[in-house]
C-alpha cells in the first residue's frame, strides 16, 4: 500500500537554516576566508564541532521523540514523490543542501582545516545533515524514504563542491524568494495556516534561482562583479502533491491549472559588496541566500511570455 505523505513541518527547513546561519555568523564575522592558516586552531575547531554536534543531535532527538511521536514504526518503506509539487520540493532540498555545504566548508576553513579536507568534509555537510531525515521518513507510518530527495540533497552538495573544484570559487549561487499566494485559503492544512508555515509548505509562493555574474565568466570590464543575472523556477496552481482535488471539505472546487514558471531576472551578489566591517560582512554573506525583488521576464505554458515589473 502506498503511504500517504504529509508535508514535512516548518521545523525541518528552519532547523537546517538555523544551523547554517549559526555557522555563517560564527565564521564570517571572524574573517573565515583568510589564507593565513597555520594549522588547526583547536579552540575554533571545538566551537564548530561542538555547536554543530549539539544542534544536529538536538534536531534528531526532536524528530524521533516529538515529530514522529504519534506515528507507528513500520518496516522500512520507500516512496516515489519525484512527480510531486512539480519538482519544487526537489529544488528546496538542493537549495538547503548547497548552503549547508557552503557554510560547513567555511566553518572548517575558519578553524584552519586544509582546503582539500574542508572541501570534502564541509562540502558534504548538506547531504550528511539531511540523510537521517530521509531515513526516519522510511521508518514511520505516513512517510517513506525518497530516493528523489536523497539525489536532490546530493545535488546541492555537488553544486558547491563542483564549483570549488572547477573554479576555486562559487560563481553560481542558488537563491530563494517568497511571496504569499492565494492558495492556502483553499487548503490551509496542506499549504500552511500562517506565513511561517506557508514559507515552507506553499510551493506556489516559492521560487528557486541560480544567480551568476557574467563578469565571472567573461572579460566584461564594464560589468560589475556584484551585478548578476538570475534564472528562476517555480510552480503555480498546486493544491496537492500530485494533482488538485475536486472536492475540499465536501465542496466542489473550481479547476485550477498546474503549470511551471521559468524566469529571467537580475540580482545582486551581496558577497561582492566591499566592507571592512566584520559583522556587516557576515550579514551580507547571510543575505546572499535570498534573491532580491527585481523586474523579471516569465515564461510559462499557460500565459506564454510576460514581463513582471517587480517579481518577489
Residue 280 backbone phi and psi in degrees, to 5: -65, -40
Decide: 211 and 269 in contact? Cβ < 8 Å: yes
Can you give the pLDDT at residue 242? 95
Can you give the pLDDT at residue 168? 95
Q: What is the full per-residue pLDDT of the chain (312 aa) written as tens digits?
A: 334 444 454 345 444 554 555 445 444 444 444 443 458 888 888 888 888 788 778 777 877 777 787 888 899 999 999 999 999 999 999 999 999 999 899 889 989 999 999 999 999 999 998 898 899 889 988 889 999 999 999 999 999 999 999 999 999 999 999 999 999 999 998 999 999 889 989 999 999 999 999 999 988 878 999 999 999 999 999 999 999 999 988 888 889 999 999 999 999 999 998 888 878 888 888 889 999 999 999 999 888 999 999 998
Closest listed residue to residue 203, CA positions, set 191, 193, 188, 187: 191
Can you give the pLDDT at residue 57? 82
Can you give the pLDDT at residue 303? 87
Can you give the pLDDT at residue 156? 96
Can you give the pLDDT at residue 34? 45
Can you give the pLDDT at residue 251? 87
Can you give the pLDDT at residue 16? 52
Can you give the pLDDT at residue 49? 85
CA gap 69, 261 in Å, rounded: 38
Task: Measure Cα distances from 50 to 23, 46, 139, 230 in Å.
Answer: 11, 6, 28, 36
Closest listed residue to residue 261, CA positions, set 218, 216, 308: 308
CA gap 289, 160 in Å, rounded: 13
Looking at residue 171, the DSSP 8-state letter turns out to be -
Can you give the pLDDT at residue 5? 42
Can you give the pLDDT at residue 38? 53
Can you give the pLDDT at residue 15? 47
The domains of the chain are located at: 1-169, 171-312
Closest listed residue to residue 176, CA positions, set 39, 288, 89, 83: 288
Q: How many CB atoms lie within 10 A of CB 295?
A: 12
What is the pairing mode between strands 172-178 and 206-212?
A: antiparallel
Amino acid at each position: 500500500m502506498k503511504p500517504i505523505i504529509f508535508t514535512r513541518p516548518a521545523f525541518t527547513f528552519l532547523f537546517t537554516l538555523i544551523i547554517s546561519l549559526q555557522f555563517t555568523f560564527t565564521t564570517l564575522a571572524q574573517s573565515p576566508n583568510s589564507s593565513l592558516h597555520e594549522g588547526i586552531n583547536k579552540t575554533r575547531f571545538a566551537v564548530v564541532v561542538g555547536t554543530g554536534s549539539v544542534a544536529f543531535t538536538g534536531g534528531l532527538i526532536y524528530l524521533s521523540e516529538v515529530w514522529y511521536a504519534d506515528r507507528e514504526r513500520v518496516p522500512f518503506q520507500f516512496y516515489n514523490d519525484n512527480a510531486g509539487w512539480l519538482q519544487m520540493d526537489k529544488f528546496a532540498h538542493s537549495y538547503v543542501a548547497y548552503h549547508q555545504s557552503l557554510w560547513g566548508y567555511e566553518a572548517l576553513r575558519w578553524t584552519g582545516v586544509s582546503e582539500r579536507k574542508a572541501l570534502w568534509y564541509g562540502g558534504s555537510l548538506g547531504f550528511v545533515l539531511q540523510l537521517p531525515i530521509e531515513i526516519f521518513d522510511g521508518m514511520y507510518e505516513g512517510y517513506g524514504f525518497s530516493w528523489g530527495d536523497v539525489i536532490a540533497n546530493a545535488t546541492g552538495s555537488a553544486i558547491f563542491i563542483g564549483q570549488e573544484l572547477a573554479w576555486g570559487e562559487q560563481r553560481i549561487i542558488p537563491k530563494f524568494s517568497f511571496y504569499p499566494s492565494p492558495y492556502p485559503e483553499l487548503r490551509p492544512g496542506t499549504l500552511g495556516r500562517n506565513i511561517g508555515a506557508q514559507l515552507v509548505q506553499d510551493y506556489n509562493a516559492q521560487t528557486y534561482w541560480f544567480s551568476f555574474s557574467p563578469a565571472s565568466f567573461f572579460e566584461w570590464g564594464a560589468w560589475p562583479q556584484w551585478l548578476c543575472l538570475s534564472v528562476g523556477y517555480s510552480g503555480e496552481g498546486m493544491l496537492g502533491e500530485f494533482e488538485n482535488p475536486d472536492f475540499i471539505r465536501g465542496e466542489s472546487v473550481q479547476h485550477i491549472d498546474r503549470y511551471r514558471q521559468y524566469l529571467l531576472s537580475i540580482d545582486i551578489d551581496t558577497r561582492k559588496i566591499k566592507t571592512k566591517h566584520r559583522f556587516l560582512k557576515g550579514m551580507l554573506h547571510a543575505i546572499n541566500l535570498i534573491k532580491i525583488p527585481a523586474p523579471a521576464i516569465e515564461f510559462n505554458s499557460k500565459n506564454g511570455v510576460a514581463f513582471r515589473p517587480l517579481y518577489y
